[in-house]
Amino acid sequence: MVVGRFEGVSRYRLQPTPAQERALLEHCGHARYVWNLAVEQHAHWKPGRASAPGFAEQCRQLTQARAEHEWLRGGSVIVQQQALKDFAQAMANFFGRTHRRPTWRRRGRGEGFRIVAVTAGDVRRLSRTVGEVRVAKVGWVRFRWSRAVPDGVKSYRITCDRAGRWHVAFAVIPEPIPAPGTGEVVGVDRGVAVSVALSTGELLNAPTLRQTEKARLRRLQRKLARAKRGSNRRGKVKAAIATLKARETDRRRDWVEKISTRLARRFDVIAVENLKIAGMTRSARGTVEAPGGNVRQKAGLNRGILAAGWGRLVERLEHKAPGRVVKVNPAYTSQRCSACGIVERTSRESQADFRCRSCGYAGNADVNAARNIRHAAGHAVSARGGPPLGGPANREPQRDLLLVG
């Protein structure tokens, strides 16, 4: 598995000087302020009322706010306007049901800002291990050159995690991976018991923390509960927790890149559920088909992780296999028997097992769903009159969708 060349996002540890750090924090503060203003405006909006201000109107208001507030005027208009653009994209993702509703951002919690229209001259290498990136109003900021910066960087995002570590993530649209040409179609389902199930029967799990790390996390969380508010110790414990969580996020992100690359290389057509429809039926799937408190609890535990990881996986697949991703209606994918085609609600014995009362087929419930997705994709492909390799079956990836960090 080659990691690096084709991957869409490359993150590097940023090493700002103390003065630069102050300037970066100011950018973060401005981005957060503008973002929160947008959140607030949209929070008041209810169906039936006049629409909340769109991006153009918000930009006009930003100009006005900059005229009135000197501290805002002192900052970078590029950073502030980009925060509005990111918010507009986040709302579009929310309405597209691939992401949760954008929420209020708090100081010190995953702060960041984005710079677009980056050119080749904005990133340079100083030595074997040191690089520099040009940041508006801050200047050249050093970063650890831990791997090659990909060609064609169009934007980057600078973030400060809860542990106080700065990163720069360069975004490029990954190069499409050529189809293997085998005609093979794979169905991919997001499982509840596992992260991803393939119609081939493979079950793939996103990495989590190791047992020792989990134990450490539990110890830290107990410590945090006992630590006094505002105490030095509390701050240290919080930072340690944040470091562990960041590690888990990093591992998941790498995993999504690896899996999407692997699927794009191995299969001609990759079938997934249409998320726009899935968002609406997903809750019903949890209650109607698999009732029981235990299931719901388990689903709750996984939901956040899976929702974020899944949306990202589909996004990356569309970048790496453009025109080869087929989105199918998720209705009945978990109730239909993939062997005989009968749809029966009682066939799903539990979250993990599927047993057909009609033909006796038994198997993993997520794999059964993945096989149904593959089946539905076969219909979609033949209904269009041939394999989808000839032309783009879905719209081109939008540059703005490349939200990173």
Which parts of this chain interact with Zn ion (CB under 5 A)?
A: 337, 339-340, 356, 358-359, 361
Annotation marks residue 366 as catalytic: yes
CB of 126 or CB of 343, closer to Zn ion: 343
- CB 160 within 8 Å of CB 111: yes
Task: State in angstroms the smallest separation of the CB of 281 from Zn ion.
Answer: 22
| Residue 371: CB minimum distance to Zn ion, A | 11
125/345 with CB nearer Zn ion = 345
Using CB atoms within 10 Å of the CB of residue 288, give its burial: 0 to 12 exposed, 13 to 18 middle, 19+ buried.
Answer: exposed
Q: Write the DSSP string, 312-362.
A: HHHHHHHHHSTT-EEEE--TTTTTB-TTT--B-GGGB-SSSEEE-TTT--E
Sorted by sequence, the CB contacts under 8 Å of residue 354 that are 6+ apart come out as 337, 347, 348, 361, 362, 363, 364, 365, 368
Q: In whole angstroms, how close is the CB of 354 to Zn ion at the nearest point?
A: 9
Decide the pairing of beta strands 9-13 and 166-171: antiparallel
Q: Say what the alpha-carbon torsion angle 254, 257, 90, 86 is, to the nearest 10 degrees.
A: 80
Structure tokens belonging to residue 111? 């702060």
Q: Which of 156, 166, 175 shows the shortest CA–CA distance to 79?
A: 156
Residue closer to Zn ion by CB (options 74, 360) is: 360
Q: Based on CB atoms, which residue is closest to Zn ion, 194 or 337?
A: 337
Question: Is 189 one of the annotated active-site residues of the chain?
Answer: yes
**Active-site pick, 161, 273, 315, 318:** 273
We find the least distance from the C-beta atom of residue 375 to Zn ion, in angstroms, to be 13
User: What whole-number distance in Å separates Cα of residue 356 and Cα of residue 2?
Assistant: 41
- Helix, strand, or coil here: 364? strand
Query: Of the residues 111, 189, 268, 318, which is catalytic?
Result: 189
Nearer to Zn ion, 235 or 341 (CB): 341
Q: In this structure, what token pair is assigned to residue 211?
A: 């047992």
CB of 336 to Zn ion, least distance (A): 9
Tell me the catalytic residues: 189, 273, 366
